[in-house]
Amino acid sequence: MVQKEKITEPLHRIVSDPGRILTKETDLVSYGYDASFGFYKPDVVVQVKSEEEVAGILKMANKLRVPVTPRGQASSLSGGPLPVEGGIVLDFSQWREKLVIDSEDMVAVVSPGVITADLDQEAAKYGLLYAPDPGSSHFSTIGGNLAENSGGPRCLKYGVTKDYVLGLRVVSPQGEIIRTGGRTVKNVTGYDLTKLIVGSEGTLGVITEATLRLIPRPLSSHTVMLIFDHFVEAAETVTKILTSRIQPAKIEMMDQASIQAVEAFKPQGLPVDAEAILLVGLDGHPAAVADDTARISEIASQMHVRSVRVDHSESEARELWMARKLVSPAIAAKKPTKISEDATVPRSKIPAFCKKLQDIKKKYQIDLVVFGHIGDGNLHPNIICDKRDREEMKRVWQAVEAIFKAAIELGGTLSGEHGIGTMKRAYMPWELTPQELDLMKRIKTAWDPNNILNPSKIFPSVRPKLVHSR
């Protein structure tokens, strides 16, 4: 068993500033959580600030067989930054020095601890856009976004985080400093390690710098709110819009339970008897956006929309979006525990998926609220519960399993944007065959033979616990 001193002693040689090595009990406890479930206390936390430090720590950890878990702002909903097997947590949140926009190359070069929204705000000064917009963008780090391949509403038009990563600087599990990709959109020199590492949930490498693609910032935007009596008409409207050669930036949905939760929490004048609200965000050239707005209203009318609201100013747009923004706080206010799922189905299967969700709600008698990115099939069924109520939680976890099963049966996936982490690893065999999992594991083993980098994530198999001091 490796003693805590065996780790902290070499750490002090690697990290010059002892203030960035945390070993106090109170610190360790606060690093034992993220935004998902479970508590796992690390043995030591290092607030890293350079690639050399990360490389030094990984080399040492690899030698001593100590688990290392990278962590940004810990907003993960799947357990990515939880130090399940103890060991060292690398806290990247303090490493945010670099945020360079190159408007000619249309790239941003960033440290891992930069907050995602700050990056986009900086890009805006140059008329550029960093497109991915996860719900956590105002507090999550870009490093965490990259590790999890974050999504968001705007992915409908712009794609996911991975689509905006041109190059990385990475420390491998064995402590080698490497670069992947480069500074150009086109690069086919060797295997695409960039897109393998992005989304690998910190299990294949530790990202220390990223070169991200920026695009011209749209000149204008519009928001349309569509209120429907019947859910199925809302779902059909989504399909109709997307097959009419219109490309909205985002199409968000609130079901009746979401509408009622918002109205109970902070009234917005939404009709509580409506089965669904769609919020459509359009961006681009002003004439195109105006035209598409009119066409969407027309399509919605054909689909028996109850009412259409269009913004006439930025403040009106903000008001319309407020309804959607309030869903999470509104449901969180109802009960202490909120389980946010992100199982994703092909767009054509959304009506069937929503029907199954309502069946699950009834069968397990759970408080289920459904909202999210309906345009790309990435809904967020949220279960509101109290984790201290063991009887209720038993039904809740059964319902969660039923949701996973429903999504997979409809040709969808366990996770659209939150990641597998600790939360969904047990269900991986539901979606992937042993052969498929084996090919993934072979990569992990080839790169991290001692399984020190973020162990006990993604893969369902339980491997022997590492030797460490917990």
Distance between CA atoms of residues 80 and 136, nearest Å:
15
Site residues for its own copies, 361-400, by CB under 8 A, read 373, 376-378
Structure tokens at 220: 């204008």
Smallest gap from Cβ 142 to its own copies, in A, equals: 16
Long-range own/partner contacts, residues 425-429 (CB < 8 A, 24 or more apart) = 425/456, 425/457, 425/458, 425/459, 425/460, 426/460, 427/401, 427/460, 428/458, 428/459, 428/460, 429/460
204 touches its own copies (CB under 8 A): yes
- Residue 153: which residues within 8 A CB-CB, separation 6 or more? 133, 249, 250, 252, 281, 373
Smallest gap from Cβ 84 to its own copies, in A, equals: 17
From 59-67, 273-281, 352-360, 412-420, give the range in contact with its own copies by CB under 8 A. 412-420
419 touches its own copies (CB under 8 A): yes
Kindly tell me which of 356 and 424 has the beta carbon lying closer to its own copies.
424
Which residues share a beta bridge with 310?
Answer: 224
- Residue 365: which residues within 8 A CB-CB, separation 6 or more? 395
What secondary structure does DSSP assign to 327-344, as a single string?
A: HHHHHHTTSSEEEE---B
- The answer to whether 353 touches 410, Cβ cutoff 8 Å, is yes
From 10-18, 131-139, 172-180, 384-392, give the range in contact with its own copies by CB under 8 A. 172-180
Kindly tell me which of 86 and 167 has the beta carbon lying closer to its own copies.
167
Q: Is 280 exposed, middle or buried (0-12, 13-18, 19+ CB in 10 A)?
A: buried
Smallest gap from Cβ 437 to its own copies, in A, equals: 7
Site residues for its own copies, 232-271, by CB under 8 A, read 239, 242-247
From 17-25, 216-224, 225-233, 353-361, give the range in contact with its own copies by CB under 8 A. 216-224
| Other residues' Cβ atoms within 10 Å of the Cβ of residue 445 | 11
From 20-28, 86-94, 395-403, 441-449, give the range in contact with its own copies by CB under 8 A. 441-449
Q: Please tell me the chain's helix, strand, coil percentages from 3-state DSSP, rounded to the nearest 5.
A: 40, 20, 40
Q: Kindly state the number of chain residues that form the binding site for its own copies, as judged by CB under 8 A.
A: 95
Kindly tell me which of 219 and 467 has the beta carbon lying closer to its own copies.
219
Smallest gap from Cβ 38 to its own copies, in A, equals: 19
How many CA atoms, within 13 angstroms, populate the side-chain half-sphere of residue 179?
7
415 touches its own copies (CB under 8 A): yes
6 touches its own copies (CB under 8 A): no
Site residues for its own copies, 103-142, by CB under 8 A, read 103-107, 126-127
Smallest gap from Cβ 332 to its own copies, in A, equals: 23
351 touches its own copies (CB under 8 A): no
Smallest gap from Cβ 195 to its own copies, in A, equals: 4
- The answer to whether 206 touches 107, Cβ cutoff 8 Å, is no
